[in-house]
């Protein structure tokens, strides 16, 4: 019987650009989160006395100008060595060209698999054979698994591969291959990396994405960690997911549909945040609050979004001032009935409201409106899209934008355009 730990996509010292744009962001805690997750990984490996650790690519986030990350990694690898734990890893798309990875002297318990061709490591003391090939370049578009050897009889065969298989949303199609091709190799366990969402693709044989060890922004929500794989004497594997993240991103959605008064909505937000934070003993939560639903409060919320954003932030401090940070508040409510009261007379205001009505009623005009954002969208930093803050593109997103802007403008013009 033996046990190993399967992790991937550590992205050690990921730069997490744009944190200065977040109000009240605990920047130091966020920037150090990937290191804490890796420390937790090493601690877990030592506590469970695993026989070896597998890291399926993207140990680093990219090339570095200094050796701070390398020195941190070295300390952690020597902790594994002192505990008698071996480490097998390969390069992925983010660290394929990393000078630090190539020049780093690894302790004798750690092995970086070849990026030139598939390499097999036989562990006769465990009855295990490990196969893998890293990326020679960042944009690896070859089907690497085609050259992997067939399984070795009498061994528990582990294949390590950084891939998006036949494609996964939000991930470049690197090292493409099919599940059928993986199964054909006859391996017992495929330790995959690259996809940041945890997924057990197959249980016969095991084909597993553990996800990344630490979420880096709100589009990577939920628990992040690794799998502990226990294999009994007949070669049957049992998987246990163990969270490693010290900072957990989450989206907290609260419906305002049944809220008649602002105090009711704030109470609902408080209850939702209380329930979220009580789910797990996570050191720090980074939460995006989304207020949704067709609500009689829509006009009031849109008239002064800054006020209600700060009201919600204040409620969050009451839930947990130390463990809860509100990354962003998005007021996504809709009017109970989209029409607002219009003045009888003609004039600039009537013309403005007419424009909103025409935009809502015409898909063609909505498309034209969306086109107005194209040039601006091209100039936005990539991290805005990663955080889910990109400009609207779909008809639904544009309609939602109209629902936000109209009552905001009416309030600024001192018009009581309350939905009826």
Edge-to-edge strands, sheet with 110-112: 110-112, 86-90, 52-56, 2-7, 225-231, 237-243
The arithmetic mean of pLDDT across residues 135-154, rounded, is 92
pLDDT at position 399, please?
A: 76
Cα(328)–Cα(367) distance, integer angstroms: 27
The arithmetic mean of pLDDT across residues 188-204, rounded, is 96
Residue 79: Cβ within 10 Å count: 16
Cα(101)–Cα(404) distance, integer angstroms: 48
pLDDT of 349 > 80? The answer is no
Model confidence band, residue 419 (pLDDT cutoffs 50, 70, 90): very low
Task: Point out which residues pair with 2 in neighbouring strands.
Answer: 231
The token duo for 161 is: 């591969």
Predicted model pTM: 0.81
Alpha helices in 235-347 (DSSP H): 262-277, 298-303, 305-319
Cα(396)–Cα(64) distance, integer angstroms: 41
**Given 3-state DSSP classes, what are the helix, strand and coil percentages for the chain, each rounded to the nearest 5?**
35, 25, 45
Cα(199)–Cα(192) distance, integer angstroms: 10
pLDDT at position 249, please?
A: 94
Write down the residue that tokens 């890293």 correspond to: 134
pLDDT at position 291, please?
A: 97
* Contacts (Cβ under 8 Å, ≥6 apart) of 82: none
The token duo for 283 is: 């050191």
The arithmetic mean of pLDDT across residues 94-123, rounded, is 82
Write down the residue that tokens 């957990």 correspond to: 248
pLDDT at position 24, please?
A: 76
Question: Could you give phi then psi for residue 301, rounded to 5 degrees?
Answer: -65, -45
Min mean pLDDT across 79-83, 198-202, 408-412 is at 408-412
Write down the residue that tokens 């890893």 correspond to: 89
Model confidence band, residue 369 (pLDDT cutoffs 50, 70, 90): confident
What does CATH list as the number for 2-243?
3.60.21.10
* Range ranked top by mean pLDDT from 206-220, 349-363, 394-408: 206-220
User: Where are the domain boundaries for CATH 3.60.21.10 in the chain?
Assistant: 2-243
The arithmetic mean of pLDDT across residues 387-401, rounded, is 69
User: What proportion of the chain, given as a percentage, has pLDDT over 70?
Assistant: 85
* Contacts (Cβ under 8 Å, ≥6 apart) of 403: 298, 302, 333, 334, 335, 338
How far is the CA of 98 from the CAs of 63, 90, 211, 242, in angstroms?
A: 4, 12, 21, 29
Contact 365, 358 (CB under 8 A): yes
Min mean pLDDT across 61-70, 76-85, 376-385 is at 376-385
């Amino acid at each position: 019987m033996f046990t190993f730990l399967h992790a991937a996509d550590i992205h050690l010292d990921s730069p997490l650009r744009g944190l200065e744009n977040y109000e009240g962001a605990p920047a130091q805690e966020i920037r150090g989160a990937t290191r804490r997750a890796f420390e937790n990984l090493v601690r877990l490996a030592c506590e469970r006395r695993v026989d070896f650790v597998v890291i399926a690519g993207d140990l680093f986030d990219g090339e570095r100008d200094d050796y701070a990350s390398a020195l941190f990694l070295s300390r952690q690898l020597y902790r594994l060595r002192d505990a008698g734990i071996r480490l097998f890893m390969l390069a992925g798309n983010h660290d394929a060209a990393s000078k630090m990875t190539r020049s780093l002297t690894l302790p004798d318990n750690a092995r970086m698999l070849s990026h030139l061709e598939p390499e097999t490591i036989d562990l006769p003391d465990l009855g295990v054979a490990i196969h893998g090939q890293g990326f020679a370049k960042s944009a690896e578009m070859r089907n690497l698994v085609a050259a992997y050897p067939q399984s070795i009889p009498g061994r528990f065969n582990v294949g390590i591969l950084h891939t998006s298989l036949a494609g996964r949303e939000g991930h470049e199609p690197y090292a493409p291959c099919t599940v059928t091709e993986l199964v054909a190799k006859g391996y017992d366990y495929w330790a995959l990396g690259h996809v940041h969402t945890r997924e057990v693709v197959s249980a016969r044989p095991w084909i597993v994405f553990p996800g990344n060890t630490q979420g880096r922004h709100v589009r990577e929500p939920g628990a992040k960690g690794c799998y502990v794989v226990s294999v009994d004497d007949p070669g049957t594997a049992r998987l246990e997911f163990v969270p490693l993240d010290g900072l957990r991103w989450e989206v907290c959605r609260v419906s305002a549909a049944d809220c008649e008064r602002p105090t009711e909505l704030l109470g609902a937000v408080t209850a939702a945040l209380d329930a979220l934070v009580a789910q797990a003993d996570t050191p720090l939560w980074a939460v995006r609050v989304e207020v949704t639903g067709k609500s009689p409060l829509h006009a009031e919320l849109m008239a002064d979004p800054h006020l209600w954003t700060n009201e919600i932030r204040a409620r969050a401090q009451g839930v947990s001032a130390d463990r809860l940070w509100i990354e962003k508040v998005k007021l996504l409510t809709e009017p109970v009935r989209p029409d607002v009261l219009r003045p009888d007379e003609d004039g600039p205001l009537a013309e403005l409201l007419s424009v909103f009505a025409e935009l809502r009623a015409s898909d063609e005009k909505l498309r034209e409106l969306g086109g107005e954002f194209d040039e601006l969208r091209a100039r936005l930093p990539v991290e805005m899209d990663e955080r889910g803050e990109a400009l609207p593109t779909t008809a639904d997103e544009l309609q939602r934008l109209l629902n936000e802007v109209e009552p905001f403008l009416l309030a600024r013009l001192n018009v009581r355009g309350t939905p009826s």
